[in-house]
Structure 1
Amino acid sequence: MNSQQHKRITLKDISEQCGYSVNTVSRALRDDPRLPEATISRIKQVADELGYMKNVIASSMRSGHTNLIAVIVDDIQNPHYSDIISQISIKLRKYGYHTLILASYIEKNYADYSLSLALSYNVSGIVFFPRNYNKNAINLINQNNIPLILIDREIPECQTDFVRCDDYQGGYLAGKHLLELGHRRFLYLPGPKYNLSQTRRYAGIMDALSEANVPVSNVRQIDYHTVFGSPVPSTSSYKSYEELFFPVDYTAVIGFNDLQSYSAMEILKERGYRIPEDISLISFDHLRKTHTYLPPLTSVADNTDKSIADTAVSILLNKIKNLDSKFTGAVLPVTIFDEHTTGPVNKAFEASF
């Protein structure tokens, strides 16, 4: 097979085909306003006919930037994250930026590798969904002066832009909401222990209960990590997880996120429990905002004109334009989206245990 068939189309190839210099071709493909529109149109037509694809790496070496934003996430199967990524990508395109998504499913050390890989691609900025602390990798990014924003998390030890929801406020609101409905015995489905959102939400919940003199012993927790020893749970591990919901000695379930809460909803309904007539259920993230096919679920999430994605893009673009600007930490207020999976405590049901 002729090696020319595998040759990448270059600016020189376009130049030879249309009769303009390589410099003029380059300017036309960048829509240089100093060139006649007819010239730009002709060169672009030839480029399309030849199947020309811009070499982003080569262009970045000449210009010093790529207009490429790396998005690093290790739990992309979580629809809360994939929704934010989709919104960020759409918003960045409006400003001429494109996204390079580096994703795995909670693979050990993948985030550190992805951050290094993003550096090698000379990206203009990085959007990072940190699962662990990743302090060393983040410090490396900052040393290389690459604009970086953390999503839904912050790492207090690192000077880095971030945007997240007010998780403590969310936990406090969830606890107060259930207390006002008369609930005093709870099941809590926690998130990963190293997750700051988990720490803050739990603290908010427990502070609300403490103010109402509800003892800690009235909150039963499922140890998620004891059951799920690997990132991808097996059928047998899910069965073990299911059994931890029983016996039912609570009237309300608080889930760390909607994914866990939908599992709880399914488990309890299969055993004949009614929601919210027997057991109330409240959660975090409000996935139904964008996934309307999901069952109703009362959930806590941000409720501002500027979403997490809006805020992240705004902060990141400002940092790209002003590398010396001060670090910004945006904490968005939250509210309860009541979709009627919580209700007044059922006294007769509570008396049964």
Structure 2
Amino acid sequence: MAHERAPGLKDVAKAAGVSVTTVSRMLNGSLDLPAATKQRIDEAISALKYQPNPHARRLSRGRSDTIGLVVPDIANPFFATMVAAVEEAANDLGLAVSLYATLNRTGREVAYLRLLEHNHVDGLVFVTNHPDDGELAALINRTGKVIVVDEDVPLAMVPKLFSDNLQGGYLAGRHLAEFGHRNVLFVGGPDAMISTQRRFNGLRSGLQERFGEAFSIRRYSGEYTVACGREMARRFLEEGSPATAIFASSDEIAIGMIEVLREHGISIPDDLSIIGFDDVSPLHLFAPPLTAIRQPVRAIGRRALSLLLETNWQESEVLATEELVPVEIVVRNSVAPPSTRNKQR
């Protein structure tokens, strides 16, 4: 038997005939209302047996009731899905979300972090997609009330939330090994990024578990973009790499690579196997459907907001914790045993 959903701010607001923001601001003491309006809200709370969220109230009391969400690119399906999840979770708590797209540029990231310094938002869910030279970490540490998500800012002393990239790489390596692939090409983001490092190390671990030291991994580094995928595929073809399988560590890279490989008559998986990472794009519609490591991006977005609200920012020293979200492999049809044909690439 399903449990009934606990009443939320939206339910109270609807019953009282006011906005969610009005209810939220009344509860945190930042808004004076006419007596009749306040009475309607109190009666709705009583009738619904509504229990206010103490974490949300602690974060936003006397402030803007607005959470900042900083992402590199809202056109990327991965980040777009995360944005939707954060928006949905915030709406349930009567909090607004201010979205800032940085184009993955440090200058824009710095500008948005400074909004928090000036109290324009109550806290930030911060996502970057490039290595940090220390500038972002210094600003995050000075500002506080920031949750670092998806990619690390190594010297930032705040809570962090990542997918289990090491496990994801391991699952990819184990799957390729099960099909007999000993020569694998890894295509990742910048080498300094935690996602690249951990996905590569996991891949190596998965292959090593099956083959000992009798395997080889060639490694290309670039960006998590379709354009990078195209460039890496051209490089792969020009070099005549002996790899029989590719681990493309993002949907975008995989899509770009497949585009170029098809142009050159490379059949997947008959000539070359490939595994992607993210599984946010409609990879099941590809021909063949693409096997990928799935990141639970909506769960990551919801958990990021919860972590921001749960953290006691009043403590003199907030711990730089790291929380990992499990990933899974979604097996489709893009991996097969190494081709016996000596196809000239």
* TM-score, normalised by the number of residues in structure 1: 0.71
Structure 1 residue 120 displacement after superposition: 2.4
Q: Is the 8 A contact 1:174 1:282 kept in 2?
A: yes
- CA 1:232 to 1:171, structure 2 compared with 1: closer, same or farther past 3 Å? closer
Query: 1:292/1:156 Cα in 2 relative to 1: closer, same or farther (>3 Å)?
Result: closer
Report the equivalent of 2:252: 259
2:212 aligned residue = 213
Quick one: distance in 2 between partners of 1:266 and 1:164?
29
Residue 35 of structure 1 pairs with residue 26 of structure 2:
no
Alignment map for 1:190-229 (pairs within 5 Å): 190-211=188-209, 212-214=211-213, 218-224=216-222
Query: What is the CA-CA distance between 1:270 and the residue it aligns to?
Result: 2.0
Q: Tell me the distance in 1 between the aligned counterparts of 2:66 and 2:244.
A: 49
Change (3 A) 1:35 1:328: farther
Kept in 2, the 8 Å contact 1:184–1:214? The answer is no
1:243 matched residue in structure 2: 234
Question: Structure 1 residues 239, 310: CA separation in 2 closer, same or farther (over 3 Å shift)?
Answer: closer
Q: What is the letter of the counterpart of residue 263 of structure 2?
A: E
CA distance 1:132–1:240, shift in 2 (3 Å): closer
Say how many residue pairs are matched: 294
Any conservation in 1 of the 2:65–2:95 contact (CA below 8 Å)? yes
| Alignment correspondent of 1:110 | 108
SS in 2 for 1:308: helix
In structure 2, the gaps of 5 or more residues are: 1-24, 42-60
Structure 2 residue corresponding to 1:317, chosen from 309, 320, 325: 309
Structure 1 stretches lacking a partner, 5+ long: 1-25, 42-62
Change (3 A) 1:139 1:180: same
After TM superposition, give the deviation of residue 133 of structure 1 in Å: 2.6
Give the TM-score normalised by the residue count of structure 2.
Answer: 0.73
TM-aligned CA deviation for residue 350 of structure 1: 5.6
Residue 275 (structure 1) shift:
1.4
Larger Rg computed on CA atoms: 1
1:281 is aligned to 2:274: yes
* CA-based RMSD: 3.6
* TM alignment of 1:56-95, pairs within 5 A: 64-95=62-93
Q: How far has the Cα of 1:175 moved from its partner?
A: 0.7
Query: Which residue does 2:327 correspond to in 1?
Result: 334
Aligned-partner SS, 1:65 = coil
Identity %: 26
Distance 1:331 1:241, change over 3 A: closer
Q: Secondary structure at the match of 1:349?
A: coil
User: How far apart are the structure 2 equivalents of 1:335 and 1:248?
Assistant: 28
Offset at 1:88?
0.7
Deviations 1:73-130 (A, max 9, x none): 2333322122111211111111111111221322243212221133324311101002
| 1:307 is the counterpart of 2:299 | yes
Deviation of 1:284 after TM superposition, in Å, equals 0.9
Letter in 1 for 2:303: T
Q: Helix, strand or coil: the match of 2:35? A: coil
Report the Cα distance in structure 2 between the residues aligned to 1:338 and 1:82, rounded to whole angstroms: 24
Structure 1 residues 274 and 326: CA distance shift in structure 2, 3 A: same
181 and 116 in structure 1: CA distance in 2 versus 1, 3 angstrom threshold: same
Amino acid across the alignment from 2:306: S
Letter in 1 for 2:271: D
Question: In 2, Cα distance between the equivalents of 1:151 and 1:102?
Answer: 15
Deviation at 1:148, TM superposition (A): 1.1
Q: 1:99 to 1:283 in 2, by over 3 A?
A: same
1:10-159 to 2 correspondences below 5 Å: 35-37=35-37, 64-130=62-128, 131-133=130-132, 135-144=134-143, 146-159=144-157
1:293 Cα offset (Å): 7.7
Partner of 1:172: 170
